[in-house]
Amino acid sequence: MLLGLVLGLGAGGHLENLLRLRFRWPLLVVAAVIVRGAVEVSPLNRVEGAQYVYLLSLLAIAGWTVWHVKLLPGVWAVSAGATLNFVVIAANGARMPVASQYAGSLVQRGHIGQYTLMTSSTNLNALGDWMSLGPLRGVYSPGDLLVALGLALVLLVATHREPETAVPAGKPQDV
């Protein structure tokens, strides 16, 4: 995200263009991101069944971004990445497979929250968390990389997007 913002501003974009954007049902995606984050990093991830709440929040994020594909260039990559993550998690009982070399305590426990140890019995392992990105902490899936690329594209394009001239005064740009 930061890279997209820096590139956008460095290429002559304006932060004000981001502030002018108006999304449809913005609280839906905000709530979905908060719920997803809460399940991911709080003790809720130890509650059996919380992984399904995580899965539903991911579906809400993917759906919301699909709804905005025609309105905001670059968000298609966020949609694609979120959909890939949803598919692999849904195919594994609402848990994301994690490669054993990055799994830590998953190796002993089998699963923790919305994560499960990647094995020959997990599905769609190529879409699971198996990539380490050098200096960045953590392990990532192809879907995660698409989401990050999409967010960077959205910020890059949105900093250059001028407000619609046909929008009546006082009405924000609907994106």
**Distance between CA atoms of residues 153 and 78, nearest Å:** 9
**Distance between CA atoms of residues 71 and 62, nearest Å:** 15
**Rounded to 5°, angle at Cα 109 from 103 and 114:** 65
| 155 domain residue, yes or no | yes
**What would the 3-class secondary structure string for 32-61 be?**
HHHHHHHHHHCHHHHCCCHHHHHHHHHHHH
| 7 domain residue, yes or no | no
Structurally, how many domains does the chain consist of?
1
* Per-residue pLDDT tens over the stretch 119-163: 999 999 999 999 998 887 889 999 999 999 999 998 888 887 665
* Per-residue pLDDT tens over the stretch 69-83: 888 888 999 999 999
Nearest Cα neighbor of 21 from 170, 163, 141 is 163
| 2 domain residue, yes or no | no
| 172 domain residue, yes or no | no
Domain membership of residue 93 as a residue range: 24-161
